[in-house]
């Protein structure tokens, strides 16, 4: 059996790499601290789970959901209200909001909706993998925009030459950034708006971590920039802010024509979101946001424990202003290793699972990403174990 060529063109998938690392360690009987996947470890808040249970008992909620039926309209209104509260951005719930079965599928299907085989998508690298894998699966041409520590992991859009721009249909942006934890202010989006003027390029902003922010930093939305709704789609998710990764619920907002094309693509593929999950998401977005505040406090403590720990053992890493990741350059002692080799060493020698930088694309090489999805005690254990590794004779 021969897979389609587009499947063969896909790089090895990050989470497959991480699962493989873990499996190998388990088979050798190694006790692991798993900081590999960005999979939130805390339970979904009770009021959200209660609403799911309540709604699941209504048998009419067991049918296929349909677009713009009451459950979906309630959810769209809750999303629009959340955007108004959080960013002071006005959205028409009916046409400028689209619920998704998690933002990942939305990002992948956006490429399917818009890319022909000779269309390019501009993807800053490193990136959350679906940003580039979606392009490859859709059969489009991937153009990596290199991002480096020297430019704070911000893409230099003006360095892209005109022949590439002429072929480009999509630009992906995502701040606060996974995996690098880099953040931007509204000025960055104003600059993107100036660059995008008179260009026929759809801007896809992935705002998954807008709520996981520290030290007074506030993450802006690109839709706060006047006029950007004309060419922008912005993705968001309930997975991180409300600990709902397994529920599969996210959404897109922005330009109504872009959203209509994405909705059309999806209508041929899926049937939408189980109604009780939609009602529970309404509770999450419109209920008290204290649970988000508590979560951010927890991630901040974890960040401080882990960053202070690594710095104290001589592995200098920056203190992220957002996300629950730490993006770390491979220590000098091991910098002859690829990120994959270093990740293997970490798991085999001391049982610490991390994501190798190359899993996030070409420009992730030289780094590893730690996901702070284990309690503080485990993070301290990880630091102790890494200390041993760094002290070993190589």
Ligand X SMILES: Cc1ncc(COP(=O)(O)O)c(C=O)c1O
For ligand X, the binding residues (CB under 6 A) are 38, 102-104, 128, 174, 178, 206, 208, 237, 239, 245, 250
With vertex at residue 181, the alpha carbon angle to CA 223 and CA 171, rounded to the nearest 5 degrees, is 45
Give the phi and the psi of residue 209 in degrees, each rounded to 5.
-110, 20
Distance separating the N- and C-terminal Cα atoms of the chain: 44
The C-alpha atoms of residue 392 and residue 17 are separated, in whole angstroms, by 25
Beta bridge partners of 368: 328, 356
Nearest residue to 386 via CA among 341, 342, 350: 350
Q: Which residue has the tokens 């004779």?
A: 393
Three-state SS sequence of 21-35: HHHHHHHCCCCCEEC
Strand order in the sheet with 168-173: 97-100, 250-254, 232-237, 202-206, 168-173, 120-125, 141-146
Q: Which is nearer to ligand X, 15 or 334 (CB)?
A: 15
Q: Which is nearer to ligand X, 71 or 249 (CB)?
A: 249
Q: Which is nearer to ligand X, 176 or 276 (CB)?
A: 176
The C-alpha atoms of residue 365 and residue 178 are separated, in whole angstroms, by 15
Least CB distance from residue 130 to ligand X, whole Å? 7
Least CB distance from residue 11 to ligand X, whole Å? 17
Q: Which is nearer to ligand X, 175 or 279 (CB)?
A: 175
Least CB distance from residue 208 to ligand X, whole Å? 4
The C-alpha atoms of residue 340 and residue 343 are separated, in whole angstroms, by 5
Q: Which is nearer to ligand X, 36 or 276 (CB)?
A: 36
Three-state DSSP at 212 gives coil
State CA 78 to chain mean position distance: 22
Give the phi and the psi of residue 253 in degrees, each rounded to 5.
-135, 165
The C-alpha atoms of residue 47 and residue 287 are separated, in whole angstroms, by 9
Q: Which is nearer to ligand X, 80 or 212 (CB)?
A: 212
Q: Which is nearer to ligand X, 235 or 315 (CB)?
A: 235
Beta bridge partners of 141: 120
Least CB distance from residue 317 to ligand X, whole Å? 19
Least CB distance from residue 104 to ligand X, whole Å? 3
Least CB distance from residue 246 to ligand X, whole Å? 9
Segment holding 303, helix H or strand E: helix 290-312
CB 6 within 8 A of CB 140: no
Give the phi and the psi of residue 131 in degrees, each rounded to 5.
-60, -40
Three-state DSSP at 357 gives helix
Pairing of strands 367-371, 325-329: antiparallel
């Amino acid at each position: 059996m021969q897979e389609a060529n587009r499947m063969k063109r896909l790089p090895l998938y990050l989470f497959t790499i991480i699962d493989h690392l873990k499996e190998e360690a388990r088979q050798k009987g190694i006790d692991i601290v798993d900081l590999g996947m960005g999979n939130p470890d805390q339970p979904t808040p009770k009021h959200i789970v209660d609403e799911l249970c309540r709604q699941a008992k209504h048998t009419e909620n067991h049918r296929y959901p349909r677009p713009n039926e009451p459950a979906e309209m309630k959810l769209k209104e809750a999303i629009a209200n959340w955007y108004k509260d959080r960013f002071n951005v006005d959205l028409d719930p009916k046409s400028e909001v689209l619920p998704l079965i998690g933002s990942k599928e939305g990002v992948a299907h956006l490429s399917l909706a818009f890319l022909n085989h000779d269309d390019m998508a501009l993807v800053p690298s490193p990136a959350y993998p679906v940003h580039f894998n979606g392009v490859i699966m859709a059969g489009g041409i991937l153009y990596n925009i290199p991002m480096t520590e020297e430019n704070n992991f911000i893409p230099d859009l003006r360095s892209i030459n005109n022949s590439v721009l002429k072929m480009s249909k999509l630009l992906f942006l995502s701040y606060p950034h996974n995996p690098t934890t880099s953040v931007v202010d509204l000025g960055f989006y104003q600059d993107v708006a100036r660059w995008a003027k008179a260009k026929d390029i759809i801007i896809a902003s992935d705002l998954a971590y807008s709520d996981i922010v520290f030290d007074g930093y506030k993450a802006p939305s690109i839709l706060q920039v006047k006029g950007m709704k004309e060419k922008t789609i912005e993705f968001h998710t309930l997975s991180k802010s409300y600990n709902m990764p397994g529920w599969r619920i996210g959404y897109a907002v922005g330009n109504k024509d872009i959203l209509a094309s994405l909705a059309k693509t999806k209508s041929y593929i899926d049937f939408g979101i189980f109604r009780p999950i939609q009602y529970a998401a309404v509770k999450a977005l419109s209920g008290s946001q204290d649970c988000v505040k508590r979560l951010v406090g927890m991630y901040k403590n974890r960040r401080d424990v882990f960053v202070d720990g690594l710095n104290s053992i001589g592995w200098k890493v920056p203190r992220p202003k957002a996300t629950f990741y730490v993006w770390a350059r491979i220590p000098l002692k091991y910098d002859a290793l690829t990120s994959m080799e270093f990740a293997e060493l970490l798991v085999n020698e001391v049982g610490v699972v991390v994501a190798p930088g190359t899993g996030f694309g070409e420009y992730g090489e030289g780094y590893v990403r730690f996901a702070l999805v284990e309690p503080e005690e485990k993070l301290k254990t990880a630091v102790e174990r890494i200390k041993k590794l760094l002290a070993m004779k190589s």
